[in-house]
Amino acid sequence: MLRPGSHIVNEDKQISYRICHVSKCGKWFAVADMNLVMSASNSPKPKVMSKADLDEWISKNKCEVLIHALPAEMTFSDSALEKMNRDKWIKKRDFKWRIVKSLCSEYMLHEYLYGDGIGEEIEKLIQAGSPWGSRGAYYNAVNRFISLGCTKNALLPFKLKNTGSNYLHFDKPCNELIKRGRGKSDNSKSRSKTRGITNQDKQNILNIARKFKGKWSYKMAHELYQDTYERSELQRQIGEDVCTHYLPHNLETCISYQQFKYHLKNLVGNERILKKRVGNLRYEKDYKAKQGSSIDGVLGATHRYEVDATVLDLYVRYPFDKSGRLTMGRPVLYIVVDVYSTMIVGFYLGFDGPNWAGVSQALVNACSNKVDFAAKFGEVIEESDWPAHHIPSQITIDNGKEYTNSLVKTILKSELGVTAFNFTAIYRGDAKGTVEGTFNALNNEYVHYEPGSIFKGIDRGEKHPSNESLYKYEEVVRKLINQCIYHNNSADRVNKFSWQAVYDDIDVTPQALYLHSLESEMDGGQPMTSEDLPRIHWGFLPEEEATVCKDGLLFRGVKYLSDEAAARGYFNKVVHSGRYKICVKRSHQSCDHLWHKTADGEFIRFDLKNVNNDSPLSGEHWGIVGHVLEYAKQKSFDAQEVKRHQKAKRDSRNARVERDAAASVEGLPESSRKSMQANVAERKQHQQAVNQRREEQELRRHLESTHADISILADEELIDLDNEIYG
């Protein structure tokens, strides 16, 4: 399936084209010659071709369609680039972006590629005093922006990679944010005694409007305006006291109540006034007109995924307690739902958040094979039970402060071809109605009937649900897997049927709708392959740091190894330069692997150090790993305490030995000899003979105590041995 990011290449790689943009109607494709884009001094404008012509051209030139690997730096954050001494790259990129940003909107790109062009807009920028006086500079930057994925990082100067770098001190980039207001004409005439309105008055009216929250009226707002801007404050000395007097301005210098109300409505608007009265959140949920639905603009299955999180109404049992009655609390459940079919395509159960880390784990799971996922927890399912392992075109999540907007968009678009990342207002469940409805179904159909569940109807006098927890983390995940399969194959979704679904007479379940849409409307979608696994982890998961040591990679107290990293000299570098940090990404579902992307765009997988398959961390969730590491720390602390007491016992016994030794030599003359004593070897042999006799006597007593039928040397024979040895 042709989509943005597809790489069209022939066998000898003489042809290397990238689909960098698709028209809104889906009929026209902008194709960039990547050989010229990455080598020429000026990026050429992408060619526009119809789908039929592009298919014919691909067939004629015997090309295949792959995923184009853009420069690795496009997927790195600014902090990662700074650690690579790419400070000047960031400055050059931001400088270009500020100049051409207005030309890179979706509307302007469509005009440039498929419409009348952007020559007039460029001319206006030049006449307005732009730093660039050449039209070619604008076209070069816009062409580069389009060809390299329509992201801000496309303007990074990649060609400087091999020319060295300037080692600058760390300097945070400056982001200038300009807000332009709308001009207003003065109302200089008035039928009353009050004067005409001015721009300063309008600004004062806005200042008053900002102060009001909750219940208020126009009269109250006008009185506050008069108290603030239409009276003077005088202070007079009367004796030893200072008195304050307020004098209203003359009516001719004021504006009337009608003027104030009229311009307040015009400046603020009825909608914003209502928002101030009820609050933004309540307005969006209860007052704003809603005529669309969650599937507006959704073409079919896998076109848009919705992700949301909630604290599960279920307590999870703590597995490291021998009594078995403790709980780890209520986990956070992240669910990914296909908007078109309402099929649950993935989930993640964690113990932190909600945050981007959990959302990313859920998205990785949504794109991964569910048979392998279920097998990790001991649940055996078939591919037909949960056939959801496709990469979506769009993703919708909460716009929480913990979600990194710009970097996520850049990575997902360049790595996986995710064309849109939609952020809705936080705490706005109505904006993600599909996934919110799924949460309600899970709670009402499954969670509220399990031991350790909590729900609104519980009586305060009853035993708290935390004391009734039954399932461990792995068992909860297994039950969630089975519940997702049940939901996907049992829910009634006949109201979401398209004409084609009705004609083909498919089942009414979300899974049937999902599979039918993939085949009939989405050309099979974009299923994940084994080659996609590193890109999916790198695209979705948050960026973290690990320390490279001589004996492996250290991350959160856990050691990892990699033969490929060793071959690249990652560990040998530590010997000469000391420890250093690299960017890695991980799956919270298992601590077995870490992923790292090199500067040349290749992926390295680091594996958990697991000697003889005996590591207690192998295959464990990172939440469990934390408990195991804490357990190891506690055992180490306990061992130190035991060592302290054992050392005291040892020293007590040694003190008695020292007293006995000192008593045995008490009264003997001290030696003044300067050289080594004579006959040391003979005395050593005598001690050996004494030790031998002691061992023989011990052996004799042991044999006699066991009534063994064995010949034992008589005392006379032992005496003869002594005579033979010592003479």
Q: pLDDT tens digits, residue range 657-678? A: 888 888 888 888 887 788 888 8
Q: Which pLDDT does position 300 carry in this prediction?
A: 86
Question: For every residue of 306-336, which 3-state class applies, written as one string?
Answer: EEEEEECCECEECCCCCCCCCEEECCEEEEE
Residue 575 has a CB neighbour count (10 Å cut-off) of 8
Question: 434 in helix, strand or coil?
Answer: helix
Instruction: List CB contacts of 640: < 8 A, sequence separation 6 or more.
Output: none
> Are the beta carbons of 550 and 574 closer than 8 angstroms?
yes
Pairwise CA distance, residues 89 & 158, whole Å: 8
Residue 562 has a CB neighbour count (10 Å cut-off) of 19
Pairwise CA distance, residues 440 & 446, whole Å: 10
Q: Can you list the pairs that 208-211 forms with residues at least 24 positions away whose Cβ atoms lie under 8 Å? A: 209/264, 209/267, 209/268, 209/276
Pairwise CA distance, residues 653 & 658, whole Å: 9
Pull the structure tokens for residue 439.
Answer: 């949460």
- The residues with which 559 forms a beta bridge, in sequence order, are 554
Please name the residue ranges forming H helices in 568-709.
572-577, 622-664, 680-705
Pairwise CA distance, residues 99 & 130, whole Å: 7
Find the length of the chain. Answer: 727
Pull the structure tokens for residue 583.
Answer: 């960017």
Pairwise CA distance, residues 229 & 204, whole Å: 8
- What is the 8-class DSSP label of residue 430? G
Pull the structure tokens for residue 558.
Answer: 């856990």
Pairwise CA distance, residues 119 & 101, whole Å: 15
- What is the 8-class DSSP label of residue 235? E
> Are the beta carbons of 599 and 71 closer than 8 angstroms?
no
> Are the beta carbons of 507 and 516 closer than 8 angstroms?
no
Residues of the chain where predicted confidence (pLDDT) is lower than 70: 1, 68, 160-194, 213-215, 278-296, 320-324, 398-417, 420-437, 439-462, 706-727
> Are the beta carbons of 578 and 650 closer than 8 angstroms?
no
Beta strand 603-608 with 552-555: parallel, antiparallel or unpaired?
unpaired
Q: How far is CA 564 from the centre of its chain?
A: 25
| pLDDT tens digits along 200-231 | 888 888 888 888 766 678 888 888 898 888 88
The backbone torsions φ and ψ at residue 420, rounded to the nearest 5 degrees and listed phi first, read -145, 140
Q: Which pLDDT does position 703 carry in this prediction?
A: 81
Question: 338 in helix, strand or coil?
Answer: strand
Pairwise CA distance, residues 584 & 383, whole Å: 31
Q: H or E element: which one contains 525?
A: none
Pull the structure tokens for residue 667.
Answer: 């009264």
- What is the 8-class DSSP label of residue 354? S
DSSP 86-148: -HHHHHHHHHHHHHHGGG-SHHHHHHHHHSS-SHHHHHHHHHTT-S---HHHHHHHHHHHHHT
Beta strand 420-424 with 394-398: parallel, antiparallel or unpaired?
parallel
Q: What angle do CA 568, 574, 575 make, to 5 degrees?
A: 110
Please name the residue ranges forming H helices in 446-591.
473-488, 499-504, 510-520, 532-540, 563-567, 572-577
Q: Can you list the pairs that 569-577 forms with residues at least 24 positions away whose Cβ atoms lie under 8 Å? A: 573/548, 574/548, 574/549, 574/550, 575/550
- What is the 8-class DSSP label of residue 286? I
Pairwise CA distance, residues 553 & 608, whole Å: 9
Sign of dihedral through CA atoms 244, 249, 255, 258? positive
Pull the structure tokens for residue 216.
Answer: 């208020």
Q: How far is CA 240 from the centre of its chain?
A: 66
> Are the beta carbons of 404 and 276 closer than 8 angstroms?
no
Sign of dihedral through CA atoms 338, 343, 344, 346? negative
Pairwise CA distance, residues 474 & 481, whole Å: 11
- Tell me what percent of the chain is helix, strand and coil, each rounded to the nearest 5: 45, 15, 40
